[in-house]
Structure 1
Amino acid sequence: MRKIAEQIVKKRVLILVLATVLLVPSLVGYIGTRINYDILSYLPEQLDSIQGQEILDQQFHAASMSMITVENMEKKQVDRIEEKIRGIDGVRDVMGLGDFLQTMPPEMVPQDLRGMLDNGVCQLLLVTFEEGNGSDRTLKAVDEIKAMMNSQMFLGGLAAVINDTKMLIEQELPLYVAVAVGLSLVVLFLGLRYSVAPLIFLLGILYAVLYNFGTNIFLGEVSYITSALAAILQLAVSMDFSIFLLERYDEELHKGLTSQEAMTEAVVNTFTAISASSLTTIAGFLAMCIMDLKLGTDMGVVMAKGVVLGVFSAVVILPALILVFDKPIHKHKHKVLIPKLRGVAKLTTTHYKAILIIAVVLLIPFGLAQKKTDVYYNLLDSLPQDLTSTAGTQKLRDEFDMPTTHFILVSDQLSRPQMDKVLEGIRTTEGINSVMTLDKFLGAGIPEAMLPESIRSVFSAGGWKMIMANSSYTSATPAQNAQISELENRVKAIDPTALITGEGALNRDLVLIADHDIQMVNIVSILAVFAIIAISFKSLSVPIVLVAAIEMAITINMGIPYFEGETIPFIASIVIGTIQLGATIDYAILMMTRYQEERRVGKVRRDAVEHAVYTCSSSILTSGLSFFSATVGVAMVSKIDLIRSLCGMLARGALISMTVILLVLPALLMVFGPIVEKTSFQFLNKKGEEH
């Protein structure tokens, strides 16, 4: 590593030139990476709901659908609107009651269909799209539909929800970055003695962020959640590396070394020091890749890649930047306003028993509360209530009592008696208020062939019959999830090959998968971090102490929403613990490393703990507050509850982890220090023996 460090210092100008040149393809890659706004598209392909979506798309050409409620409008005007919508690129068809009346005798149109599409005050238009709900073509078509709407029209459905999400993210993303950068600069200015250093740090991290987003093009696309959070988390996590490099560089300069010699030593020591902490962060993020919901892979890969590139920037690009701007950095100084906590250091060793008792007393209620925190899964719940999709969905609920429509696919080989049983089972399921299928059009003795092709193709294709069942329950609620399970039991009892899909079924599967993912991700992330710390410290007890401290912070963080009466997005319950563990375990590693160093130079345990807290407190405060400021800023400005909740919980988690490491971890070392030292390989040398 020393030879590499020497080359980095020697060729610093060339490194900066090449690093800057690489920004060009990174920008091209960033622009060329598609953003996916449809979380449901990350569900596993083997699910019945996903297979059903595929059949709806390939056979019925109805995988994506929106509903337009038209209020108090004459038929001729509605017909003109239909024609305009049909002419939009990406729209496959538009169907209202008038279309059925035009293609068949009025007496053959079922009463259920009439009531479903026209309640006397409002008419309902079903818009089907050529591609999926989240495709660029569909979202553009929704934009055009919204542009032609007036005050008498209300657009609902999943495509409209995704379109509104896209609109908000595109509006807010630049604001996220600006607020995160601005608040991080404030914290760095308070925590560092050099006024110019925060700008140099951010410049170095900017290279890593742009490289990360540029290389996402090899993934094809990333989710909007990843896109919104990755840069903020990369900024927060990578700041530790930058602070450590500059502090080590100054330390070497004070020894009398030249700037180039000092930077060589700083690069070598920085890489050694951050290797373990960066690996734990990477492992924490990669743990999300085991999620059945492929959104975890999306987030995990991008964030882990960001940490790798952050390390690269800290040991290659940032050293070159510091050397180039060495004079202005060291010329402009000010008093450090984030102090070392001498009083806290004394407190932790004097009252460590009381601290541990308080920690245990807090842990019990928060641990119980964590399991009772309410979670929501419906995308609509994360959006402001004044958007097109929320107003449209509310109108569907108010006027037609159909916030959700299930699409039930059964074999077209079922006999008429079997089909009657299927329909009866659906009709009598609690919460189903109307059912529409091809059989509704067929009276006694009327063969299917007599129906117009335009009607038959809507309900029968590719060996399947499609049944539309309107539910009075809202998607992703316990009532509707139970309803879908009941429908599956009844329909599959007659046709085992039957499939149920639609927004409700997709969200129900999301609930089931998320519950499984929460347990698996937490277990894998803890085991991965445990293993890395165990190898780094050559100890089985050190990772137990460090992980226990961070897990306590996570438990408190995840339990707070229950006491606040807050409902959090499902993704928070899966990823918050993993991200908080990966991002803040560094604080614990820093404290343990310093404690080990103090013991090795001969200090007794109490003095070693006290000095470790004192010397690490400023770095932990600066790093933790940087993490807090970057994420809390986004939480303050975002109108999307999913993003606001995630960032708010991450910000709170940074403060809680910081507090636990400064208070509880030292208390743990006071109690379990002897066990740690005896169960770790060469934790102490001869100078470190107890006096």
Structure 2
Amino acid sequence: MVKVGKWIARHRILMLLIGVLLIIPSVIGIAKTKVNYDLLSYLPDHLETVKGQDILVDEFGMGAFSMVAVENMDMKDVQKLEKEFEKVSHVQDVLWYDDVADISLPTEMIPKDIRKAFINGDATMMLVLFDDTTSSDNSMEALTQLRKIANKQCFISGMTGIVTDIKNIAMKELPIYVVIAALLSLVVLEITSGSFVVPFLFLLSIGLAILYNLGSNIILGETSYITQALTAVLQLGVTMDYSIFLLNSYEENKKRFPGEKERAMGHAIANTFKSVVGSSVTTVAGFIALCVMTFALGRDLGIVMAKGVVIGVICCVTILPALILVFDKPIEKTRHKLLLSNMDRPSAFITKHYKVWIVAFLVLLLPAIYGNNHTKIYYNIADSLPATLNSNVSIKKVKDDFGTSNMHIVMMDKNMSARDKQQMFKKIDKVKGVKWTISMSSLIGPSVPDSMIPKDVRKMMQSKDYELAFVSTKYESATDPVNTQIKKIDKIVKSYDKSGMVIGEAPLMKDLQDVTDVDLVNVNIISIAAIFVIILIIFKSISLPVILVAVIEFAIMINMAIPYYQGVSLPFVASIVIGAIQLGATVDYAILMTTRYQKERSRGKDKMEAISIAHKTSMPSIISSGLSFFAATFGVACYSQVEMIGSICTLLARGAIISMVVVLLVLPAMFMIFDKLICKTSIGFLGKKAKAQTSEAK
């Protein structure tokens, strides 16, 4: 590897030229990679609700719908508005009460079910049906046009509105995330590095790696907006260590080879590659663990970030060395005193009072476990957005005006008898929380023969094989009452039609909850198991994987317990990904200290001395790494309006600091207590010299 390193050092201009040229395909790749703003689309295809959505598109030409509340508007003007809505491209139809009754009729003469569904005092409601899926560009563009047509008296709710608002916010905020993360990382690097120029080179190298990663997403076809938003921030946070390691190694090798910068860099590249590959494996394992999720968002984020770490490693040993060599003189000219140059005194204090940290660990353990297990999770995607957004304002208006928060779609066999349909809907109407049902029979009457059914009504409500009915509920999506309600309605539907199904936003979110609850457990188990095995292989030890994973898991539990004690609910995505990412990204801190501890023990140092040396030499790197990760994520956490993104970044920022503190305080205490066990359960841990000294002592 030294030869390869020297070759890279000699051909540094070529490396930079290749790096610049790769920007072109990366930018093209970014432009051609679609961003998916609908998290519900990541549910597995085998779910009945997902299959139902597909049938809805294939057989009815309807993929999404929006409830529209109109206040204080004359009926004739509402009718004009309806006609305007119908002209919008990709609006398949608009269902309003003029489809079943003349607007000149007094509302008292309209059937009660229809009146309850469409009219309440001075407010009326329409149902706008789109011909494409919820998050398709067509549906979002149609909704945008509807909003332009609508006035201040008109409120358009529904999942397409939520997705559109997410897209608008994400597109506006994404560039700002990158700027904030870069600026805060720059501040930390300027404080912790020895030169004012170096941080800019680090950011340039990592920036190119991020660009390549985002560009290579074209192979996936599309990525989620969460992945798109977090890629730069996470990649910056988790790969900064590699750059720091290369520079430190280069500085050491310059002392070994005075005046031979290319040779020094060659050795630095070789050393860095070995260390960074070992370090990055745990980070990659954390991200790969996300790929086991049946909720495909995990796979999306896992693949992109694992790829990003690999690209980060490659850039660290190719582009960054070239940059450092090219800018070597400015680096030397802008050197300043290291803030974290000497950690002897704080390190000595920490290792001396190790019993205090063990007591603190034991005291905090149970509250951390309890809080971690009782942190509230929410699944309603709308709740992750500001209440002032158009979609959330409209949801509230529809609820205030009509007492309905949601609408389920019952999809049944077209050939079900009129009698069975009538009985089924009577039972559904009696289910707690159901406001009303609209079916073919309620619109045109149960006794109307097929030949007399209006074409527009038939097209909207019937296909070759299926018939639709709409069920209004007063319950919000992703709540226990609505989930119970969906179960009851589904049971009723299936008692009359085994192939019948209940679909829509709330049923999808119920499935989302069921799926991700299982994913949470699976991801945690697999990430812990994978990293346990990696540490076992690295140190050839049974005890060290247990200790290291336990220390980081303790940090994760503290991190996840804090929202519980704050009374804060977390979005479901944050709770799933944080464990794997924090474990994978911050276990490196523990591995770094453990590696030095093992090295000193194998050289014959006694327990106390080995731990002291390992601690004080690792402390600056761990602090720099933790602060860099914190800086990359904290600013985004404060700025983001999308709580899905903000919560993940909050947890990551806080998690980096907690892991840093726990590793610096608790891990050396663990070494103190379990040193004998570690030595006995680790192959070759002491080394020949240390073993000989131990034998002589006996």
TM-score category, normalised to shorter length: over 0.9
- Could you tell me which residue of structure 2 aligns to residue 254 of structure 1? 255
1:531-555 per-position Cα deviation (integer Å, ceiling 9, x unaligned):
1111122222221111111101001
Q: Tell me which of 460, 464, 467 is aligned to 2:462.
A: 460
1:86-120 per-position Cα deviation (integer Å, ceiling 9, x unaligned):
22222222222123325999999643123211223
Q: Tell me which of 450, 455, 461 is aligned to 1:448.
A: 450
- Could you tell me which residue of structure 1 aligns to residue 128 of structure 2? 127
The 3-state SS of whatever aligns with 1:461 is: coil
- Could you tell me which residue of structure 1 aligns to residue 592 of structure 2? 590
The 3-state SS of whatever aligns with 1:493 is: helix
- Could you tell me which residue of structure 1 aligns to residue 277 of structure 2? 275
CA distance in 1, matches of 2:65, 2:446: 32
CA distance in 1, matches of 2:288, 2:516: 17
The 3-state SS of whatever aligns with 1:433 is: strand
Shifted more, 513-522 versus 338-347: the winner is 338-347
- Could you tell me which residue of structure 1 aligns to residue 366 of structure 2? 364
- Could you tell me which residue of structure 2 aligns to residue 19 of structure 1? 19
Matched to 2:658, the amino acid is I
**Residues 90 and 130, structure 2, Cα contact 8 Å, conserved in 1:** yes
- Could you tell me which residue of structure 1 aligns to residue 5 of structure 2? 5
Cα distance, 1:342 vs structure 2: 2.4
CA distance in 2, matches of 1:676, 1:104: 86
**Residues 100 and 443, structure 2, Cα contact 8 Å, conserved in 1:** no
Equivalent positions of 1:49-88 (< 5 A) are: 49-88=49-88
**Residues 257 and 263, structure 2, Cα contact 8 Å, conserved in 1:** no
Judged with a 3 Å threshold, the aligned counterparts in structure 2 of structure 1 residues 340 and 425 are, in CA distance, closer, same or farther, namely: farther
Cα distance, 1:374 vs structure 2: 0.9
CA distance in 2, matches of 1:638, 1:105: 50
CA distance in 2, matches of 1:504, 1:121: 28
Shifted more, 659-668 versus 113-122: the winner is 113-122
Equivalent positions of 1:16-415 (< 5 A) are: 16-101=16-101, 110-257=111-258, 258-415=260-417
**Unmatched 5+ residue regions in structure 1?**
none
Judged with a 3 Å threshold, the aligned counterparts in structure 2 of structure 1 residues 223 and 339 are, in CA distance, closer, same or farther, namely: same
**Residues 93 and 460, structure 2, Cα contact 8 Å, conserved in 1:** no
CA distance in 1, matches of 2:421, 2:118: 24
Matched to 1:312, the amino acid is I
1:397-423 per-position Cα deviation (integer Å, ceiling 9, x unaligned):
011111100001111232233223321
Judged with a 3 Å threshold, the aligned counterparts in structure 2 of structure 1 residues 227 and 565 are, in CA distance, closer, same or farther, namely: same
CA distance in 2, matches of 1:340, 1:75: 78
Does structure 1 residue 646 correspond to structure 2 residue 648?
yes
CA distance in 1, matches of 2:109, 2:35: 46
- Could you tell me which residue of structure 2 aligns to residue 519 of structure 1? 521
CA distance in 1, matches of 2:229, 2:256: 43
Shifted more, 534-543 versus 43-52: the winner is 534-543
Q: Tell me which of 617, 620, 630 is aligned to 2:619.
A: 617
Equivalent positions of 1:457-606 (< 5 A) are: 457-606=459-608
CA distance in 2, matches of 1:675, 1:489: 57
CA distance in 2, matches of 1:347, 1:680: 28
**Residues 372 and 561, structure 2, Cα contact 8 Å, conserved in 1:** yes
CA distance in 2, matches of 1:425, 1:60: 26
Shifted more, 356-365 versus 31-40: the winner is 356-365
**Residues 406 and 503, structure 1, Cα contact 8 Å, conserved in 2:** yes
Matched to 2:214, the amino acid is F
CA distance in 2, matches of 1:109, 1:497: 33
**Residues 340 and 617, structure 1, Cα contact 8 Å, conserved in 2:** no
Cα distance, 1:336 vs structure 2: 1.6
Matched to 1:37, the amino acid is Y
CA distance in 1, matches of 2:464, 2:312: 51
CA distance in 1, matches of 2:110, 2:268: 80
Give the number of equivalent residue pairs: 691
Matched to 1:124, the amino acid is M
1:183-207 per-position Cα deviation (integer Å, ceiling 9, x unaligned):
0000001101111000000011011
Judged with a 3 Å threshold, the aligned counterparts in structure 2 of structure 1 residues 148 and 412 are, in CA distance, closer, same or farther, namely: closer
The 3-state SS of whatever aligns with 1:127 is: strand
CA distance in 2, matches of 1:415, 1:499: 17
**Residues 109 and 441, structure 1, Cα contact 8 Å, conserved in 2:** no
**Residues 284 and 579, structure 1, Cα contact 8 Å, conserved in 2:** yes
The 3-state SS of whatever aligns with 2:156 is: strand
1:434-491 per-position Cα deviation (integer Å, ceiling 9, x unaligned):
0111122454643233221211222221311212110000000111111111212222
Root mean square deviation of aligned Cα = 1.7
Equivalent positions of 1:621-640 (< 5 A) are: 621-640=623-642
**Residues 292 and 517, structure 1, Cα contact 8 Å, conserved in 2:** yes
- The TM-score normalised by the length of structure 1 is 0.97
Matched to 2:199, the amino acid is P
Cα distance, 1:328 vs structure 2: 0.7
**Residues 100 and 109, structure 1, Cα contact 8 Å, conserved in 2:** no
**Residues 6 and 264, structure 1, Cα contact 8 Å, conserved in 2:** yes
CA distance in 2, matches of 1:338, 1:425: 71
The 3-state SS of whatever aligns with 2:257 is: coil
CA distance in 2, matches of 1:121, 1:431: 23
Judged with a 3 Å threshold, the aligned counterparts in structure 2 of structure 1 residues 458 and 103 are, in CA distance, closer, same or farther, namely: farther
Matched to 1:40, the amino acid is L
**Residues 110 and 441, structure 1, Cα contact 8 Å, conserved in 2:** no
Cα distance, 1:75 vs structure 2: 2.3
- The TM-score normalised by the length of structure 2 is 0.96
Matched to 1:65, the amino acid is F
Cα distance, 1:580 vs structure 2: 0.3
CA distance in 1, matches of 2:414, 2:79: 33
CA distance in 2, matches of 1:121, 1:326: 74
1:112-158 per-position Cα deviation (integer Å, ceiling 9, x unaligned):
12321122311112111121111112111222222222211111000
The 3-state SS of whatever aligns with 2:317 is: helix
CA distance in 2, matches of 1:295, 1:108: 50
Judged with a 3 Å threshold, the aligned counterparts in structure 2 of structure 1 residues 57 and 103 are, in CA distance, closer, same or farther, namely: farther
**Residues 355 and 667, structure 1, Cα contact 8 Å, conserved in 2:** yes
CA distance in 2, matches of 1:104, 1:687: 100
**Residues 75 and 103, structure 2, Cα contact 8 Å, conserved in 1:** no
Taking only the aligned residue pairs, the percentage that are identical comes to 44
The 3-state SS of whatever aligns with 2:67 is: strand
Shifted more, 206-215 versus 352-361: the winner is 352-361
CA distance in 1, matches of 2:444, 2:326: 82
The 3-state SS of whatever aligns with 1:254 is: helix
CA distance in 2, matches of 1:23, 1:524: 35
Cα distance, 1:600 vs structure 2: 2.2
Cα distance, 1:683 vs structure 2: 1.6
CA distance in 1, matches of 2:242, 2:426: 65
**Residues 425 and 491, structure 1, Cα contact 8 Å, conserved in 2:** no
CA distance in 2, matches of 1:580, 1:449: 63
Matched to 1:269, the amino acid is N
**Residues 104 and 452, structure 1, Cα contact 8 Å, conserved in 2:** no
CA distance in 1, matches of 2:290, 2:440: 44
Cα distance, 1:353 vs structure 2: 2.4
Cα distance, 1:363 vs structure 2: 1.1
The 3-state SS of whatever aligns with 1:333 is: coil
CA distance in 2, matches of 1:353, 1:10: 51
**Residues 291 and 521, structure 1, Cα contact 8 Å, conserved in 2:** yes
